[in-house]
Amino acid sequence: MIELRGQTLSYGPAVVLENVTLTIRQGERVALLGRSGAGKSTLLAAIREKAMVAGKEVALVPQDNALVPQLSLFHNVHMGRLHRHSALYNLVTLLRPFRRDRAEVSELTRELGLEPPVDQPVERLSGGQRQRTAVARAIHGGGEVLLADEPVSALDEKQAPEVLATLISRFPTSVISLHDVGLAQAYCTRLVGLKDRRIIFDMPAGEQNAADIDHLYAR
Ligand SMILES: Nc1ncnc2c1ncn2[C@@H]1O[C@H](COP(=O)(O)OP(=O)(O)OP(=O)(O)O)[C@@H](O)[C@H]1O
């Protein structure tokens, strides 16, 4: 479905991952694991590029959320769906959102435990609330493939699994960078470990042992 074959990923002369071969199949929930700087975001970007070339509809949760702070929670979530509407519809929505859209966004934000009113500017939200706004934007936009970069890193122990479960359930296929191995094992079907410029394991969730994980995070 999405395939990288022997690809080297680099920034100019700086190689991040060498000879990457990876196939993401329909229905998979793939977790990318590895120490900070191992190349998870870089690999996600390469997967995104392949998915776009293959004509897939991709939903993104970027690591930095990529929200517009001055705009409301509603408008930031609605942004996920701009491409589905006409320019006129989007212009009207900017000034005065349609009731139907407001209701839909309000329901989604409630589902994600976002308490502030949807009119609240994003710049007045907490870090965890901003992250859930980015999650809501991806869900609202929808698509065939979810690519998410640490989408629940700012959430507490109770919220993180709930939000991750909701996010994953809305997409047929997902690739998610996670630093929480427990969450990856609980919610993903396949774990891909990155270290020393390569994929050091790629196996079904549940098959890796403690030594695999220790080695992945060892210096
Ligand atoms: N735009 C860039 N230009 C040059 N080097 C970069 C750029 N983005 C990332 N890198 C480098 O590429 C390597 C991999 O970075 P990447 O962000 O993919 O890692 P990561 O596993 O996602 O890290 P983290 O868990 O901290 O988000 C790092 O050494 C980083 O410094």
- The whole-number pLDDT of residue 210 equals 85
Which of 142, 175, 206 is a domain's end point?
142
Which pair of structure tokens corresponds to residue 93?
């929505």
Can you tell me which atom of ligand 1 is nearest the CA of 177?
22
For residues 21 and 121, state if they share a domain: no
Q: How many domains does the chain have?
A: 2
Burial (Cβ within 10 Å: 0-12, 13-18, ≥19) of residue 179: middle
121, β-bridge pairs? 72
- Residue 206 three-state SS: coil
Reported residue count of the chain is 219
Nearest CA, atom 3, ligand 1: 11
Q: Are residues 102 and 52 part of one domain?
A: no
Question: pLDDT truncated to tens, each residue of the chain (219 aa)?
Answer: 899 999 999 999 999 999 999 999 999 999 999 999 999 999 999 999 999 999 999 999 999 999 999 999 999 999 999 988 999 999 999 999 999 999 999 999 999 999 989 999 999 999 999 999 999 999 999 999 999 999 999 999 999 999 999 999 999 999 999 999 999 999 999 999 999 999 999 999 988 888 889 999 998
User: What pLDDT, on the 0 to 100 scale, is given for residue 140?
Assistant: 97
Residue 144, pLDDT score: 95
Which three-class secondary structure state does DSSP give residue 25?
coil
Paired residues of 14 in beta bridges: 11
Tell whether 148 and 213 lie within a shared domain.
yes
* 62 located within any domain: no
For ligand 1, say whether the CB of 106 is within 6 Å of any of its atoms.
Answer: no
Q: Ligand 1 within 6 A of 140 CB?
A: no
Instruction: Tell whether 64 is covered by a domain.
Output: no
Cβ neighbors of 23 (< 8 A, separation 6 or more) are: 1, 2, 3, 4
Is residue 88 located within the same domain as residue 184?
no
Q: What is the DSSP string of 122-170?
A: GGGS-HHHHHHHHHHHHHHH--SEEEEESTTTTS-TTHHHHHHHHHHHT
Q: Are residues 39 and 101 in the same domain?
A: no
Output the CA–CA distances (angstroms, integers) from residue 183 to 2, 43, 98, in the order listed.
Answer: 24, 20, 37
Please give the ipTM for the structure prediction. 0.97
Please say which residue of 142, 164, 189 terminates a domain: 142
Domain around 2: 1-57+143-219
Tracing tokens 């589902």 back to the chain, one arrives at: 111
**Model's pTM, two decimal places?**
0.94
Residue bearing the CA closest to ligand 1, atom 17: 41
Domain limit, last residue, from 112, 142, 172: 142
Same domain, 43 and 148: yes
| Contact (Cβ atoms closer than 8 angstroms) between residue 19 and residue 8 | yes
For ligand 1, whether the C-beta of 128 sits within 6 Å is no
CA of 52 to the centre of ligand 1 (A): 21
Assign 205 to helix, strand or coil.
coil
Residue keyed to tokens 């220790």: 214
